[in-house]
């Protein structure tokens, strides 16, 4: 069973790496298309947003691999502490990437994309109040 879980963790690691490599190529392709269609800034923003999402997905898959390896393969106190540190670092990276991609903290995202923002824009369009 331990050997099987080790192989499962290894498969997750390979999938995580494949997601990062394919995602980089895909985001570069889409960024190049945006660059040609709308200019350099649009290409840069497309690359940043798309590859940022790819990085988030890759990090999540790699965390799953670490979790499987630590819990199912070698659940020693030292390995669990190491996993905790890895998850803490990757959580910080994921949070930072998400803020960088969205341009707003997660708890403030509803103010820019949620129903309140839509209602505020609709009222501003009718002339009831200024947007923002």
pLDDT for residue 120: 65
pLDDT, tens only, 34-58: 999 998 888 988 898 889 889 889 9
The pLDDT tens digits for 71-80 are: 877 778 888 8
Of the candidates 85, 75, 62, the one whose C-alpha atom is nearest the C-alpha of residue 11 is: 62
How buried is residue 102: exposed, middle or buried, by Cβ count under 10 Å (0-12/13-18/19+)? middle
Q: Could you give the residue ranges of the DSSP H alpha helices within 39-76? A: 40-68
Verdict on whether the full-model pTM lies above 0.75: no
């Amino acid at each position: 069973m331990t050997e099987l879980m080790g192989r499962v963790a290894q498969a997750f690691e390979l999938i995580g790496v494949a997601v990062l490599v394919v995602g980089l190529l895909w985001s570069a392709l889409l960024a190049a298309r945006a660059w040609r269609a709308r200019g350099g800034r649009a290409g840069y923003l497309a690359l940043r947003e798309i590859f940022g999402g790819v990085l988030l997905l890759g990090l999540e898959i790699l965390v799953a691999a670490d979790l499987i390896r630590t819990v199912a393969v070698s659940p020693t106190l030292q390995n669990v502490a190491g996993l905790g540190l890895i998850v803490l670092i990757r959580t910080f990276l994921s949070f930072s990437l998400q803020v960088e991609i969205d341009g707003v903290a997660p708890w403030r995202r509803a103010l820019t994309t949620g129903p309140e923002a839509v209602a505020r824009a609709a009222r501003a369009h009718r002339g009831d109040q200024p947007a923002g």
